[in-house]
Amino acid sequence: MRRDEARRSRLSTLAWLAGACALALAAAMGSPASSVAAKVLDWGGNSIGQLGNGTTTNSDVPVVVTGLGAVKKLAEDGQSAYAVLTKGGTVDAWGDNQSGQLGQGPTEPEQNESLVPEPVKGISGVTAIAAACHTVIARLSTGTVDVWGAGGSGQLAQGEKEESRALEPIPVKGLTEVKAVAAGCGSLYALKNNGTVMAWGDNEHGELGNGGPPGDVKEPVAVKGLKGVAAIAAGRFFALALVKGTVKAWGEGSGGELGNGEATSSSVPVAVSGLTGVKAIAGGGYSSLALMSDTTVKSWGLNNVGQLGTGAVLGPESCEGVACAKVPTAVSGLIEVKSISTGIFHGYALLKNKTVKAWGDDELGQLGNGEVTLDQPAPVSVSGLTGVVMLAVGCGGENFDSLAAT
């Protein structure tokens, strides 16, 4: 099924959930660079071992990931998970490996999944990591970037030598002085030290932001008109940039994802309406979050299962017949928020007291509150989590799960 057909199906019925998205929103985990975690917990769907505890049993409360040392960064795409270890900046990965996204190199027989963390081959010095739709991007301490996993849309950035997948990390050619990375579904992003943004991969919805035509772009290109960018984030087919307390967005917009009062896409960055004093951003499947300077959170985009956290599943507007917000609106009851993260149909907030709130779809227990419900439109507490220092959220069709580290 083509992505546009899958999107129309989703807009008409939640049955679309059964087999479409693998999204990563780890680019938005918001953990301080100095944070080090001694324990990683995971919860939600586990059909291919993405909870990392040696089982394939779902869990609606957090469970401990097996065998990880001290961790400084996390990333999720819902089917696979990644932990950057404090020692040496190496990476451990677990879950699905159908596109080589665990980075283990060629194996015989080929390993399709791992139920516990295993090392990614040949990589160290990682300072930032993101994953989406079976592709992983890592920023190294040298300011360069490695990628691995799926590459069918040009996201491996190998030019005319583009391969359908990479089974272990390979460098993105010609990309240096990078300070942050983000991953969308088929498109990747790098924030450079000079405050500009480079993008490559799928551009069907304008998600590369260069004003170019639809189609795959196999080498990094500059996102048009951006400078002074402090942070980047990516949703499924759109991206965000934080610029001097305001937010720019580009790509798919038919669900209100661009937050500019419209329900149309844009191949160049546009301003998200009415936002000033933004401290952090997070892009989800078809919605986004902004952490404000007063420690509250605003959201925009689709709201068909309460993923905007406004306290209501429906409204306040309609996008192609589906509940949405075309401009930012307040997430209900959240204050003292430290960082934010969002998956395809759910959102998370790490509070200053190191506990976690979650909202949105919960059909596989991905809100972690000990219950399984379809819609939770207002934030609820994730059970038993204290001392949390970082979050990562992912989704993958029926395989939704989330990560926290304490």
Report the pLDDT value the prediction gives residue 259, as an integer from 0 to 100: 98
Poorest-pLDDT segment among 51-55, 120-124, 141-145:
51-55
Report the pLDDT value the prediction gives residue 16, as an integer from 0 to 100: 28
Query: What end-to-end distance do the CA atoms of the chain give, in Å?
Result: 40
Nearest Cα neighbor of 239 from 197, 293, 177, 195 is: 197
- The answer to whether 311 and 262 are in contact (CB under 8 A) is no
Q: Please tell me which of 283-297, 365-379, 383-397 the model is most confident about, judged by mean pLDDT.
A: 283-297
SS3 of residue 53 by DSSP: coil
Q: Which CATH class is domain 23-405?
A: mainly beta
Poorest-pLDDT segment among 34-38, 63-67, 188-192, 398-402:
398-402
pLDDT over threshold 80, residue 76: yes
Q: Across residues 311-336, what is the average pLDDT?
A: 92
pLDDT band at 351 (very low <50, low <70, confident <90, very high): very high
Q: Rounded distance, CA 305 to CA 168, Å? A: 37
- pLDDT, tens only, 149-188: 999 999 999 987 777 899 999 999 999 999 999 999 999 9
Q: What share of the chain is helix, strand, coil (3-state, %, to 5)?
A: 5, 45, 50
pLDDT over threshold 80, residue 330: yes
SS3 of residue 93 by DSSP: strand
Sequence spans of domains, the chain: 23-405
Burial of 370 (0-12, 13-18, 19+ CB in 10 A): middle
Q: Across residues 388-401, what is the average pLDDT?
A: 64
Give the DSSP letter of residue 239. Answer: E
pLDDT band at 8 (very low <50, low <70, confident <90, very high): very low
The β-bridge partners of 248 are 241, 271
Q: Across residues 331-349, what is the average pLDDT?
A: 93
The CA angle 279-285-288, to the nearest 5 degrees, is: 25
Share of the chain above pLDDT 90, in %: 69
Q: Across residues 231-245, what is the average pLDDT?
A: 97
Please tell me whether the peptide bond between 316 and the residue prior to it is cis, using omega within 30 degrees of 0: yes
**Structure tokens, 253:** 């917009």
Strands (E), 193-286: 197-202, 216-222, 229-234, 238-243, 246-251, 266-271, 278-283
pLDDT over threshold 90, residue 118: yes
What does the buried/exposed string (b/e) look like for 26-47 if buried means 16 or more CB atoms within 10 Å of the residue's CB?
bbbbbbeeebebeebbbbbbbb
What does the buried/exposed string (b/e) look like for 329-355 if buried means 16 or more CB atoms within 10 Å of the residue's CB?
bebbebeebbbbbbbbbbbbbbbeeeb
- The answer to whether 48 and 400 are in contact (CB under 8 A) is no
Note if the pTM is more than 0.75: yes
Tokens 């639809």: give the residue. Answer: 214
pLDDT over threshold 80, residue 4: no
Report the pLDDT value the prediction gives residue 402, as an integer from 0 to 100: 62
Phi then psi for residue 192, to 5 deg, are -90, 165
